[in-house]
Structure 1
Amino acid sequence: MTRTVYLNGEYLPEHEAKVSIFDRAFLMADGVYEVTSVLDGKLIDFAGHAARLDRSLTELDMRNPVTADELLEIHRELVRMNGIEEGLVYLQITRGAPGDRDFVFPDPETTEPTIVLFTQSMPGLKDSPKAQKGLHVISIDDQRWGRRDIKTVQLLYPSMGKMMAKKVGADDAWMVQDGYVTEGTSNNAYFIKGNRIVTRPRSHDILHGITRAAVLRFAAEAQMEVEERLFTIDEAKAADEAFITSASAFVMPVVRIDDAELGGGKPGPKALRLREIYLEESLKAAV
Protein backbone atom coordinates (compact mmCIF):
# COMPACT_ATOMS: atom_id res chain seq x y z
CA MET A 1 0.00 0.00 0.00
CA THR A 2 1.39 3.39 -1.03
CA ARG A 3 1.48 5.97 1.72
CA THR A 4 -0.09 9.36 1.29
CA VAL A 5 2.21 12.16 2.42
CA TYR A 6 1.81 15.91 2.77
CA LEU A 7 4.09 18.34 0.94
CA ASN A 8 3.59 22.11 0.75
CA GLY A 9 -0.19 22.07 0.84
CA GLU A 10 -0.80 18.86 -1.14
CA TYR A 11 -1.62 15.28 -0.19
CA LEU A 12 0.38 13.05 -2.55
CA PRO A 13 1.37 9.42 -3.04
CA GLU A 14 4.82 9.13 -1.49
CA HIS A 15 6.54 8.40 -4.84
CA GLU A 16 5.22 11.67 -6.26
CA ALA A 17 6.50 13.88 -3.43
CA LYS A 18 9.66 15.73 -4.51
CA VAL A 19 11.81 18.29 -2.69
CA SER A 20 14.32 20.58 -4.42
CA ILE A 21 18.04 19.75 -4.28
CA PHE A 22 18.45 23.37 -3.18
CA ASP A 23 16.32 22.91 -0.07
CA ARG A 24 18.33 24.17 2.89
CA ALA A 25 17.56 21.10 4.99
CA PHE A 26 19.40 19.06 2.36
CA LEU A 27 22.31 21.49 2.01
CA MET A 28 22.61 23.00 5.50
CA ALA A 29 20.48 20.87 7.90
CA ASP A 30 18.47 24.10 8.14
CA GLY A 31 15.20 22.69 9.37
CA VAL A 32 13.28 21.53 12.43
CA TYR A 33 11.08 18.52 13.07
CA GLU A 34 8.61 16.90 15.44
CA VAL A 35 7.38 13.34 15.87
CA THR A 36 3.93 12.72 17.32
CA SER A 37 2.82 9.24 18.36
CA VAL A 38 -0.52 7.77 17.34
CA LEU A 39 -2.32 5.33 19.63
CA ASP A 40 -5.81 4.00 18.93
CA GLY A 41 -5.88 6.29 15.89
CA LYS A 42 -5.41 9.43 18.02
CA LEU A 43 -2.54 11.87 18.48
CA ILE A 44 -0.59 11.81 21.75
CA ASP A 45 0.59 15.12 23.29
CA PHE A 46 -0.13 17.02 20.07
CA ALA A 47 -0.43 20.42 21.75
CA GLY A 48 3.00 20.03 23.34
CA HIS A 49 4.63 19.10 20.04
CA ALA A 50 2.96 22.03 18.27
CA ALA A 51 4.18 24.43 20.97
CA ARG A 52 7.75 23.10 20.82
CA LEU A 53 7.69 23.36 17.03
CA ASP A 54 6.82 27.06 17.30
CA ARG A 55 9.65 27.54 19.80
CA SER A 56 12.20 25.82 17.54
CA LEU A 57 11.12 27.91 14.57
CA THR A 58 11.30 31.11 16.61
CA GLU A 59 14.81 30.29 17.86
CA LEU A 60 15.96 29.89 14.25
CA ASP A 61 14.04 32.94 12.97
CA MET A 62 12.05 30.69 10.65
CA ARG A 63 8.42 31.20 9.65
CA ASN A 64 5.73 28.61 10.35
CA PRO A 65 3.76 28.15 7.12
CA VAL A 66 0.68 26.74 8.88
CA THR A 67 -1.45 27.57 11.90
CA ALA A 68 -1.85 25.19 14.84
CA ASP A 69 -5.39 24.35 13.72
CA GLU A 70 -4.22 23.63 10.18
CA LEU A 71 -1.40 21.47 11.49
CA LEU A 72 -3.79 19.42 13.61
CA GLU A 73 -6.08 18.89 10.62
CA ILE A 74 -3.14 17.75 8.45
CA HIS A 75 -2.05 15.26 11.12
CA ARG A 76 -5.55 13.88 11.49
CA GLU A 77 -6.06 13.62 7.75
CA LEU A 78 -2.82 11.72 7.24
CA VAL A 79 -3.70 9.34 10.07
CA ARG A 80 -7.12 8.78 8.46
CA MET A 81 -5.85 8.41 4.88
CA ASN A 82 -3.12 5.95 5.87
CA GLY A 83 -5.24 3.99 8.36
CA ILE A 84 -2.80 4.46 11.25
CA GLU A 85 -3.91 2.90 14.53
CA GLU A 86 -0.49 2.78 16.17
CA GLY A 87 2.48 4.63 14.78
CA LEU A 88 4.01 8.03 14.22
CA VAL A 89 3.49 11.24 12.31
CA TYR A 90 6.75 12.90 11.26
CA LEU A 91 6.73 16.64 10.55
CA GLN A 92 9.57 18.71 9.10
CA ILE A 93 9.73 22.41 8.27
CA THR A 94 12.76 23.89 6.51
CA ARG A 95 13.82 27.37 5.46
CA GLY A 96 12.97 26.40 1.89
CA ALA A 97 14.73 26.22 -1.45
CA PRO A 98 16.09 29.59 -2.62
CA GLY A 99 17.39 28.15 -5.89
CA ASP A 100 21.09 28.23 -5.02
CA ARG A 101 23.47 27.51 -2.15
CA ASP A 102 24.45 30.29 0.24
CA PHE A 103 25.34 30.41 3.94
CA VAL A 104 23.24 33.56 4.31
CA PHE A 105 19.56 32.95 5.04
CA PRO A 106 17.33 33.55 2.02
CA ASP A 107 14.81 36.39 2.06
CA PRO A 108 11.67 34.96 3.74
CA GLU A 109 9.56 37.25 1.54
CA THR A 110 10.69 35.42 -1.59
CA THR A 111 11.53 31.92 -0.31
CA GLU A 112 8.67 29.87 1.10
CA PRO A 113 9.36 27.32 3.85
CA THR A 114 9.12 23.66 2.93
CA ILE A 115 6.72 21.57 5.03
CA VAL A 116 6.62 17.79 4.88
CA LEU A 117 4.61 15.27 6.88
CA PHE A 118 4.38 11.50 6.63
CA THR A 119 3.16 8.62 8.75
CA GLN A 120 4.82 5.41 9.91
CA SER A 121 2.64 2.47 10.90
CA MET A 122 4.05 0.69 13.96
CA PRO A 123 1.68 -1.99 15.28
CA GLY A 124 2.56 -2.96 18.84
CA LEU A 125 3.99 0.45 19.71
CA LYS A 126 2.03 0.62 22.96
CA ASP A 127 2.79 -2.95 24.03
CA SER A 128 6.43 -3.02 22.95
CA PRO A 129 8.23 -6.15 24.20
CA LYS A 130 11.24 -3.94 24.94
CA ALA A 131 9.34 -2.46 27.86
CA GLN A 132 9.19 -5.88 29.50
CA LYS A 133 12.81 -6.68 28.71
CA GLY A 134 14.48 -3.31 29.30
CA LEU A 135 17.28 -1.58 27.43
CA HIS A 136 21.05 -1.81 27.53
CA VAL A 137 22.69 1.59 27.05
CA ILE A 138 26.33 2.54 26.73
CA SER A 139 27.96 5.87 27.61
CA ILE A 140 29.64 7.98 24.92
CA ASP A 141 31.05 11.50 24.68
CA ASP A 142 28.52 14.18 23.71
CA GLN A 143 29.92 15.86 20.60
CA ARG A 144 26.82 17.70 19.38
CA TRP A 145 26.39 21.43 18.86
CA GLY A 146 25.41 23.59 21.83
CA ARG A 147 21.72 24.20 21.11
CA ARG A 148 20.19 20.77 21.69
CA ASP A 149 17.03 22.49 22.95
CA ILE A 150 16.15 23.34 19.34
CA LYS A 151 14.77 20.24 17.63
CA THR A 152 16.72 20.53 14.39
CA VAL A 153 17.34 17.90 11.72
CA GLN A 154 21.06 17.86 12.63
CA LEU A 155 20.99 14.21 13.70
CA LEU A 156 24.29 12.83 12.40
CA TYR A 157 25.99 12.42 15.79
CA PRO A 158 22.92 10.85 17.45
CA SER A 159 22.85 8.41 14.52
CA MET A 160 26.53 7.68 15.07
CA GLY A 161 25.78 7.12 18.76
CA LYS A 162 23.10 4.56 17.95
CA MET A 163 25.56 2.78 15.65
CA MET A 164 28.20 2.74 18.42
CA ALA A 165 25.63 1.02 20.62
CA LYS A 166 24.60 -1.42 17.91
CA LYS A 167 28.21 -2.45 17.26
CA VAL A 168 28.59 -3.68 20.85
CA GLY A 169 25.16 -5.30 21.05
CA ALA A 170 23.52 -2.51 23.06
CA ASP A 171 20.22 -0.76 22.40
CA ASP A 172 21.20 2.90 22.72
CA ALA A 173 23.72 5.36 24.13
CA TRP A 174 23.65 8.00 26.86
CA MET A 175 25.82 11.01 26.08
CA VAL A 176 28.21 12.52 28.62
CA GLN A 177 29.57 16.08 28.65
CA ASP A 178 32.07 17.42 31.20
CA GLY A 179 31.51 14.32 33.33
CA TYR A 180 27.71 14.55 33.42
CA VAL A 181 25.00 12.74 31.47
CA THR A 182 23.11 14.99 29.06
CA GLU A 183 20.58 12.66 27.41
CA GLY A 184 20.14 9.64 25.17
CA THR A 185 20.62 9.80 21.42
CA SER A 186 16.90 10.42 20.89
CA ASN A 187 15.47 10.50 24.40
CA ASN A 188 15.77 11.99 27.87
CA ALA A 189 17.61 10.00 30.58
CA TYR A 190 16.68 9.29 34.22
CA PHE A 191 17.61 7.13 37.17
CA ILE A 192 15.64 6.20 40.30
CA LYS A 193 17.12 5.86 43.78
CA GLY A 194 14.63 4.97 46.49
CA ASN A 195 11.56 7.09 45.76
CA ARG A 196 13.48 9.80 43.92
CA ILE A 197 13.72 10.33 40.16
CA VAL A 198 16.83 12.21 39.04
CA THR A 199 17.16 13.82 35.62
CA ARG A 200 19.14 16.67 34.11
CA PRO A 201 17.38 20.08 34.28
CA ARG A 202 16.18 21.85 31.14
CA SER A 203 18.76 24.06 29.45
CA HIS A 204 20.39 24.50 26.04
CA ASP A 205 22.17 21.17 26.71
CA ILE A 206 19.15 18.88 26.27
CA LEU A 207 15.95 18.66 24.31
CA HIS A 208 12.96 19.86 26.30
CA GLY A 209 11.07 16.61 25.94
CA ILE A 210 7.30 16.70 25.65
CA THR A 211 7.04 13.20 27.12
CA ARG A 212 9.57 14.25 29.78
CA ALA A 213 7.34 17.08 30.99
CA ALA A 214 4.29 14.84 31.23
CA VAL A 215 6.11 12.00 32.98
CA LEU A 216 7.65 14.29 35.59
CA ARG A 217 4.22 15.78 36.27
CA PHE A 218 2.64 12.34 36.63
CA ALA A 219 5.50 11.21 38.87
CA ALA A 220 4.97 14.14 41.23
CA GLU A 221 1.24 13.42 41.32
CA ALA A 222 2.08 9.79 42.22
CA GLN A 223 4.02 11.09 45.27
CA MET A 224 7.45 10.39 43.80
CA GLU A 225 10.21 12.90 44.44
CA VAL A 226 11.65 14.56 41.34
CA GLU A 227 15.14 16.05 41.44
CA GLU A 228 16.37 17.94 38.38
CA ARG A 229 20.16 18.18 38.59
CA LEU A 230 23.36 17.13 36.89
CA PHE A 231 24.34 13.51 37.46
CA THR A 232 27.23 11.26 36.51
CA ILE A 233 27.13 7.96 34.68
CA ASP A 234 28.49 6.28 37.84
CA GLU A 235 25.51 7.58 39.84
CA ALA A 236 23.17 6.08 37.28
CA LYS A 237 25.03 2.76 37.38
CA ALA A 238 24.52 2.61 41.15
CA ALA A 239 20.79 3.36 40.92
CA ASP A 240 17.87 1.08 41.72
CA GLU A 241 16.28 1.70 38.32
CA ALA A 242 16.77 3.79 35.19
CA PHE A 243 14.64 4.70 32.20
CA ILE A 244 14.32 6.90 29.15
CA THR A 245 11.39 8.87 27.74
CA SER A 246 10.55 9.93 24.20
CA ALA A 247 7.51 10.40 21.99
CA SER A 248 7.82 6.92 20.50
CA ALA A 249 9.30 4.98 23.45
CA PHE A 250 7.01 6.62 26.05
CA VAL A 251 8.66 5.39 29.28
CA MET A 252 11.20 2.65 28.59
CA PRO A 253 13.12 0.90 31.40
CA VAL A 254 16.92 0.67 31.26
CA VAL A 255 18.37 -2.46 32.88
CA ARG A 256 22.06 -2.13 31.99
CA ILE A 257 24.40 0.86 31.69
CA ASP A 258 27.75 -0.06 30.16
CA ASP A 259 28.66 -3.20 32.16
CA ALA A 260 26.56 -2.36 35.23
CA GLU A 261 23.31 -4.30 35.66
CA LEU A 262 20.40 -2.58 37.41
CA GLY A 263 17.63 -4.36 39.33
CA GLY A 264 18.94 -7.81 38.57
CA GLY A 265 18.69 -7.08 34.86
CA LYS A 266 14.90 -6.70 34.94
CA PRO A 267 12.73 -3.58 34.49
CA GLY A 268 11.97 -1.97 37.82
CA PRO A 269 8.46 -1.55 39.23
CA LYS A 270 8.55 2.25 39.36
CA ALA A 271 9.58 2.67 35.72
CA LEU A 272 6.93 0.20 34.61
CA ARG A 273 4.31 1.97 36.71
CA LEU A 274 5.27 5.34 35.21
CA ARG A 275 4.86 3.82 31.75
CA GLU A 276 1.37 2.59 32.69
CA ILE A 277 0.37 5.98 34.10
CA TYR A 278 1.74 7.88 31.11
CA LEU A 279 -0.09 5.69 28.58
CA GLU A 280 -3.33 5.75 30.57
CA GLU A 281 -3.37 9.53 31.05
CA SER A 282 -2.12 10.37 27.57
CA LEU A 283 -4.77 8.25 25.91
CA LYS A 284 -7.44 10.07 27.93
CA ALA A 285 -6.19 13.39 26.50
CA ALA A 286 -5.41 12.16 22.97
CA VAL A 287 -6.88 14.04 20.02
Structure 2
Amino acid sequence: MKPFCFADGQIISSEKATIHPMDLGLIRGYGIFDFFRTVNFKPLFLESYLDRFLASAERTFLPLDYSRAELKAIVHELIEKNHLKEGGIRMVLSGGVSPNHFSPAKGKLFIFAESLIFPAQEKYDKGIKLLSLEYVRPIAEIKTTNYAYPVWDSIRWKDAGAEDVLYHLNGHLSESSRSNFFIVKDGVISTPDTHVLMGITRKNVIELAGKVQIRPISMQEALNADEAFITSTTKVLLPVTQIDDHEIGTGKPGPVSLGLLEKFRELEKEICF
Protein backbone atom coordinates (compact mmCIF):
# COMPACT_ATOMS: atom_id res chain seq x y z
CA MET A 1 0.00 0.00 0.00
CA LYS A 2 1.22 3.49 -0.81
CA PRO A 3 1.83 6.16 1.87
CA PHE A 4 -1.36 8.20 1.41
CA CYS A 5 -5.02 7.22 1.31
CA PHE A 6 -8.42 8.89 1.64
CA ALA A 7 -10.34 8.19 4.86
CA ASP A 8 -12.39 10.18 7.36
CA GLY A 9 -13.09 12.77 4.68
CA GLN A 10 -9.46 13.66 4.03
CA ILE A 11 -6.17 12.41 2.64
CA ILE A 12 -4.16 10.90 5.49
CA SER A 13 -1.29 8.51 6.08
CA SER A 14 -2.47 5.05 4.99
CA GLU A 15 -1.27 3.49 8.25
CA LYS A 16 -3.71 5.71 10.18
CA ALA A 17 -6.84 4.53 8.33
CA THR A 18 -9.24 2.79 10.73
CA ILE A 19 -12.67 1.18 10.74
CA HIS A 20 -15.06 0.49 13.61
CA PRO A 21 -14.86 -3.19 14.68
CA MET A 22 -18.68 -3.45 14.54
CA ASP A 23 -18.90 -2.21 10.96
CA LEU A 24 -21.00 -4.51 8.78
CA GLY A 25 -18.00 -4.80 6.49
CA LEU A 26 -16.31 -6.80 9.25
CA ILE A 27 -19.09 -8.59 11.10
CA ARG A 28 -21.28 -9.38 8.05
CA GLY A 29 -18.93 -9.01 5.08
CA TYR A 30 -21.22 -6.32 3.67
CA GLY A 31 -19.69 -3.56 1.58
CA ILE A 32 -18.70 -2.64 -1.96
CA PHE A 33 -15.45 -1.83 -3.68
CA ASP A 34 -13.94 -1.13 -7.04
CA PHE A 35 -10.42 -1.23 -8.37
CA PHE A 36 -8.78 0.33 -11.41
CA ARG A 37 -5.29 0.87 -12.73
CA THR A 38 -3.22 3.95 -13.37
CA VAL A 39 -1.18 4.03 -16.56
CA ASN A 40 1.33 6.85 -17.02
CA PHE A 41 -0.26 8.62 -14.01
CA LYS A 42 -3.72 8.45 -15.61
CA PRO A 43 -6.65 6.45 -14.15
CA LEU A 44 -7.61 4.03 -16.92
CA PHE A 45 -11.36 3.99 -17.79
CA LEU A 46 -12.10 6.09 -14.67
CA GLU A 47 -15.58 7.16 -15.80
CA SER A 48 -16.69 3.54 -16.29
CA TYR A 49 -15.40 2.51 -12.87
CA LEU A 50 -17.14 5.45 -11.20
CA ASP A 51 -20.36 4.53 -13.01
CA ARG A 52 -20.18 1.05 -11.50
CA PHE A 53 -19.15 2.21 -8.02
CA LEU A 54 -21.93 4.78 -7.78
CA ALA A 55 -24.49 2.27 -9.06
CA SER A 56 -23.25 -0.36 -6.59
CA ALA A 57 -23.65 2.06 -3.67
CA GLU A 58 -27.22 2.82 -4.71
CA ARG A 59 -28.16 -0.83 -5.26
CA THR A 60 -26.72 -1.93 -1.90
CA PHE A 61 -28.49 0.92 -0.03
CA LEU A 62 -25.22 2.42 1.17
CA PRO A 63 -25.20 6.23 1.39
CA LEU A 64 -22.31 7.87 -0.46
CA ASP A 65 -21.77 11.52 0.43
CA TYR A 66 -19.43 12.27 -2.45
CA SER A 67 -20.30 13.32 -5.99
CA ARG A 68 -18.65 11.96 -9.10
CA ALA A 69 -16.64 15.17 -9.42
CA GLU A 70 -15.45 14.93 -5.81
CA LEU A 71 -14.42 11.29 -6.23
CA LYS A 72 -12.47 12.17 -9.38
CA ALA A 73 -10.68 15.00 -7.59
CA ILE A 74 -9.72 12.69 -4.71
CA VAL A 75 -8.41 10.04 -7.11
CA HIS A 76 -6.26 12.52 -9.01
CA GLU A 77 -4.88 13.99 -5.79
CA LEU A 78 -3.96 10.52 -4.51
CA ILE A 79 -2.21 9.67 -7.76
CA GLU A 80 -0.16 12.85 -7.47
CA LYS A 81 0.69 12.51 -3.76
CA ASN A 82 1.65 8.84 -4.14
CA HIS A 83 3.46 9.41 -7.46
CA LEU A 84 1.43 6.49 -8.79
CA LYS A 85 2.62 6.16 -12.39
CA GLU A 86 1.69 2.48 -12.75
CA GLY A 87 -0.45 1.10 -9.95
CA GLY A 88 -3.92 0.59 -8.62
CA ILE A 89 -6.65 2.61 -6.92
CA ARG A 90 -9.04 0.77 -4.59
CA MET A 91 -12.31 2.41 -3.53
CA VAL A 92 -14.10 0.77 -0.59
CA LEU A 93 -17.45 1.69 0.97
CA SER A 94 -18.18 -0.25 4.14
CA GLY A 95 -21.59 -1.41 5.34
CA GLY A 96 -21.56 0.92 8.34
CA VAL A 97 -22.29 0.50 12.03
CA SER A 98 -25.90 -0.65 12.10
CA PRO A 99 -28.24 -0.23 15.11
CA ASN A 100 -29.42 -3.83 14.69
CA HIS A 101 -26.01 -5.12 13.53
CA PHE A 102 -27.60 -6.30 10.28
CA SER A 103 -29.31 -3.65 8.15
CA PRO A 104 -27.19 -1.45 5.82
CA ALA A 105 -26.12 1.80 7.46
CA LYS A 106 -24.01 4.84 6.68
CA GLY A 107 -20.63 3.35 5.90
CA LYS A 108 -17.13 4.70 5.59
CA LEU A 109 -15.40 5.54 2.32
CA PHE A 110 -11.76 4.58 1.82
CA ILE A 111 -9.68 5.16 -1.29
CA PHE A 112 -6.28 3.49 -1.32
CA ALA A 113 -3.34 3.68 -3.72
CA GLU A 114 -1.51 0.42 -4.28
CA SER A 115 1.43 -1.09 -6.11
CA LEU A 116 0.42 -3.49 -8.83
CA ILE A 117 2.14 -6.67 -9.96
CA PHE A 118 0.91 -8.29 -13.15
CA PRO A 119 0.96 -12.07 -13.63
CA ALA A 120 4.30 -13.45 -14.79
CA GLN A 121 4.92 -13.23 -18.53
CA GLU A 122 5.06 -17.03 -18.61
CA LYS A 123 1.32 -17.15 -17.90
CA TYR A 124 0.60 -15.02 -20.97
CA ASP A 125 2.96 -17.15 -23.07
CA LYS A 126 1.77 -20.57 -21.89
CA GLY A 127 -1.73 -19.92 -20.59
CA ILE A 128 -3.26 -20.78 -17.23
CA LYS A 129 -5.32 -23.50 -15.58
CA LEU A 130 -8.75 -22.99 -13.99
CA LEU A 131 -10.52 -25.35 -11.62
CA SER A 132 -14.28 -25.71 -11.98
CA LEU A 133 -16.36 -24.82 -8.93
CA GLU A 134 -20.12 -25.25 -8.54
CA TYR A 135 -21.07 -21.81 -7.25
CA VAL A 136 -22.79 -18.55 -8.18
CA ARG A 137 -21.55 -15.37 -6.56
CA PRO A 138 -24.28 -13.59 -4.55
CA ILE A 139 -25.65 -10.47 -6.31
CA ALA A 140 -22.98 -11.06 -8.93
CA GLU A 141 -23.76 -7.85 -10.83
CA ILE A 142 -22.46 -5.82 -7.86
CA LYS A 143 -18.80 -5.74 -6.85
CA THR A 144 -19.26 -6.57 -3.18
CA THR A 145 -16.53 -7.29 -0.65
CA ASN A 146 -17.89 -10.79 -0.03
CA TYR A 147 -15.18 -13.15 -1.32
CA ALA A 148 -15.32 -15.59 1.59
CA TYR A 149 -15.99 -18.74 -0.45
CA PRO A 150 -13.28 -18.33 -3.12
CA VAL A 151 -10.75 -17.15 -0.52
CA TRP A 152 -11.47 -20.32 1.48
CA ASP A 153 -11.31 -22.46 -1.68
CA SER A 154 -8.11 -20.81 -2.95
CA ILE A 155 -5.95 -23.23 -0.98
CA ARG A 156 -7.37 -26.07 -3.09
CA TRP A 157 -6.70 -24.49 -6.45
CA LYS A 158 -3.32 -23.11 -5.51
CA ASP A 159 -2.25 -26.60 -4.45
CA ALA A 160 -3.46 -27.85 -7.85
CA GLY A 161 -1.37 -25.28 -9.73
CA ALA A 162 -4.41 -23.36 -10.94
CA GLU A 163 -4.65 -19.61 -11.41
CA ASP A 164 -8.26 -19.38 -10.29
CA VAL A 165 -11.66 -21.08 -10.40
CA LEU A 166 -14.42 -21.17 -13.00
CA TYR A 167 -17.90 -20.92 -11.52
CA HIS A 168 -20.71 -23.05 -12.95
CA LEU A 169 -24.22 -24.05 -11.93
CA ASN A 170 -26.68 -26.43 -13.58
CA GLY A 171 -24.23 -27.04 -16.38
CA HIS A 172 -23.71 -23.39 -17.29
CA LEU A 173 -20.73 -21.13 -16.68
CA SER A 174 -20.68 -17.65 -15.21
CA GLU A 175 -17.29 -16.19 -14.28
CA SER A 176 -14.06 -16.67 -12.41
CA SER A 177 -13.66 -15.40 -8.84
CA ARG A 178 -12.05 -12.14 -10.01
CA SER A 179 -12.37 -12.26 -13.79
CA ASN A 180 -14.79 -12.62 -16.67
CA PHE A 181 -14.60 -15.67 -18.93
CA PHE A 182 -14.65 -16.01 -22.73
CA ILE A 183 -14.42 -18.87 -25.21
CA VAL A 184 -13.55 -18.95 -28.90
CA LYS A 185 -14.96 -21.56 -31.28
CA ASP A 186 -14.49 -21.45 -35.07
CA GLY A 187 -13.45 -17.83 -34.75
CA VAL A 188 -16.59 -16.80 -32.83
CA ILE A 189 -16.08 -15.25 -29.39
CA SER A 190 -18.68 -15.87 -26.67
CA THR A 191 -19.04 -14.87 -23.02
CA PRO A 192 -21.66 -15.76 -20.37
CA ASP A 193 -24.66 -13.49 -19.98
CA THR A 194 -25.95 -14.11 -16.45
CA HIS A 195 -24.59 -14.27 -12.89
CA VAL A 196 -21.60 -12.17 -13.93
CA LEU A 197 -20.05 -8.87 -12.98
CA MET A 198 -20.12 -6.51 -15.93
CA GLY A 199 -16.36 -6.07 -15.95
CA ILE A 200 -14.86 -2.89 -17.37
CA THR A 201 -12.09 -4.85 -19.08
CA ARG A 202 -14.78 -7.25 -20.37
CA LYS A 203 -16.69 -4.29 -21.80
CA ASN A 204 -13.64 -2.95 -23.63
CA VAL A 205 -12.61 -6.36 -24.94
CA ILE A 206 -16.12 -6.85 -26.35
CA GLU A 207 -15.86 -3.47 -28.09
CA LEU A 208 -12.41 -4.29 -29.47
CA ALA A 209 -13.53 -7.71 -30.73
CA GLY A 210 -16.48 -6.26 -32.63
CA LYS A 211 -18.79 -9.27 -32.63
CA VAL A 212 -19.15 -11.20 -29.39
CA GLN A 213 -22.01 -13.52 -28.51
CA ILE A 214 -23.28 -12.78 -24.98
CA ARG A 215 -25.26 -15.90 -24.12
CA PRO A 216 -25.48 -18.98 -21.91
CA ILE A 217 -22.36 -21.15 -22.22
CA SER A 218 -22.24 -24.75 -21.06
CA MET A 219 -19.27 -26.38 -19.42
CA GLN A 220 -19.08 -28.80 -22.33
CA GLU A 221 -18.78 -25.91 -24.78
CA ALA A 222 -15.87 -24.53 -22.80
CA LEU A 223 -14.10 -27.88 -22.78
CA ASN A 224 -14.58 -28.17 -26.54
CA ALA A 225 -13.52 -24.59 -27.30
CA ASP A 226 -10.62 -23.71 -29.58
CA GLU A 227 -9.50 -21.03 -27.14
CA ALA A 228 -10.53 -19.58 -23.80
CA PHE A 229 -9.41 -16.57 -21.80
CA ILE A 230 -10.22 -14.47 -18.76
CA THR A 231 -10.26 -10.68 -18.47
CA SER A 232 -9.84 -8.41 -15.46
CA THR A 233 -8.32 -5.11 -14.37
CA THR A 234 -5.21 -6.73 -12.90
CA LYS A 235 -4.69 -9.43 -15.53
CA VAL A 236 -6.03 -7.64 -18.65
CA LEU A 237 -6.39 -10.83 -20.72
CA LEU A 238 -4.95 -14.20 -19.73
CA PRO A 239 -5.28 -17.22 -22.05
CA VAL A 240 -6.83 -20.30 -20.44
CA THR A 241 -5.27 -23.52 -21.72
CA GLN A 242 -6.62 -25.99 -19.15
CA ILE A 243 -9.86 -26.46 -17.18
CA ASP A 244 -9.48 -29.10 -14.48
CA ASP A 245 -7.60 -31.92 -16.24
CA HIS A 246 -8.90 -31.02 -19.71
CA GLU A 247 -6.68 -29.26 -22.23
CA ILE A 248 -8.34 -26.42 -24.16
CA GLY A 249 -7.72 -26.38 -27.90
CA THR A 250 -4.08 -26.99 -28.70
CA GLY A 251 -3.09 -26.42 -25.10
CA LYS A 252 -1.42 -23.15 -26.07
CA PRO A 253 -2.64 -19.55 -26.23
CA GLY A 254 -4.49 -19.01 -29.50
CA PRO A 255 -4.35 -16.22 -32.09
CA VAL A 256 -7.68 -14.66 -31.18
CA SER A 257 -6.76 -14.32 -27.50
CA LEU A 258 -3.29 -12.95 -28.20
CA GLY A 259 -4.63 -10.61 -30.88
CA LEU A 260 -7.16 -9.10 -28.47
CA LEU A 261 -4.48 -8.68 -25.81
CA GLU A 262 -2.37 -6.74 -28.29
CA LYS A 263 -5.35 -4.56 -29.26
CA PHE A 264 -6.03 -3.80 -25.60
CA ARG A 265 -2.42 -2.77 -25.02
CA GLU A 266 -2.66 -0.43 -28.01
CA LEU A 267 -5.86 1.06 -26.58
CA GLU A 268 -4.07 1.77 -23.31
CA LYS A 269 -1.37 3.66 -25.20
CA GLU A 270 -3.92 5.71 -27.12
CA ILE A 271 -5.65 6.75 -23.91
CA CYS A 272 -2.73 7.28 -21.58
CA PHE A 273 0.25 8.40 -23.70
Q: TM-score range by the shorter chain?
A: over 0.9
For the structure 1 residues 128 and 84, does the alpha-carbon distance in structure 2 shift closer, same or farther, using more than 3 Å as the test?
farther
> 86, 94, 112: which is aligned to 1:118?
112
The residue that corresponds to 1:163 in the other structure is: 155
Please give the alpha-carbon distance, in whole angstroms, between the structure 2 residues aligned to 1:63 and 1:199.
33
Partner of 2:262: 276
Contact 1:39–1:126 under 8 Å retained in 2: no
- Counterpart in the other structure of 2:102: 103
Query: Following TM superposition, by how much is the alpha carbon of 1:286 offset from its aligned partner in structure 2, in angstroms?
Result: 4.3
- Residue in structure 2 matched with residue 213 of structure 1 by the alignment: 203
| Alignment-derived partner of residue 145 in structure 2 | 153
Which whole-Å CA distance do the structure 2 matches of 1:61 and 1:47 have between them?
21
Q: 132, 135, 141: which one pairs with 2:125?
A: 132
Determine whether 1:234 maps to 2:226. no
Q: How does 1:165-184 map to 2 (within 5 A)?
A: 165-184=157-176
Offset, 1:161: 3.8
Counterparts of residues 1-287 of structure 1 (less than 5 Å) = 3-98=3-98, 102-106=101-105, 112-122=106-116, 125=118, 128-145=121-138, 147-201=139-193, 203=194, 205-220=195-210, 225-286=211-272
Distance 1:42 1:140, change over 3 A: same
Scaled by the length of structure 2, what TM-score is found? 0.92
Structure 1 residues 78 and 285, CA, compared in 2 at 3 Å: closer, same or farther?
A: same
The residue identity in structure 2 corresponding to 1:152 is T
| Cα pair distance change 1:11/1:128, threshold 3 Å | farther
The aligned amino acid for 2:124 is: A
The answer to whether the 8 Å contact 1:97/1:114 transfers is no
Instruction: Give the superposition deviation at 1:126.
Output: 9.0
For the 8 Å contact 1:27–1:101, the answer to whether it is kept is: no
CA distance in 2, matches of 1:172, 1:2: 27
Post-superposition offset of 1:2: 5.9
Q: Structure 1: any 5+ residue segments left out of the alignment?
A: 107-111
Per-residue CA deviation, residues 240-281 of structure 1 (Å, 9 max, x unaligned), is 111001111111111111112234332111111111111221
Pick closer, same or farther for the CA change 1:104–1:262 going to 2, 3 Å. closer
Question: What amino acid maps onto 1:216 in structure 2?
Answer: I
Task: Tell me, yes or no, if the aligned pair for 1:197 and 1:226 is still in contact at 8 Å.
Answer: yes
Count how many residue pairs are aligned between Structure 1 and Structure 2.
273
Distance 1:277 1:183 in 2: 22
Structure 1 contact 65–113 (Cα < 8 Å) conserved: no
- Alignment RMSD (CA, Å): 2.1
Aligned-residue sequence identity (percent) comes to 27
Aligned mates of 1:37, 1:249 — CA distance in 2: 11
Cα distance in 1 for partners of 2:205, 2:110 equals 29
Residue of structure 2 in register with 1:109 after alignment: none
Q: What is the SS of the residue equivalent to 2:102? A: coil
* Partners of 2:2 and 2:113 within 8 A in 1: no
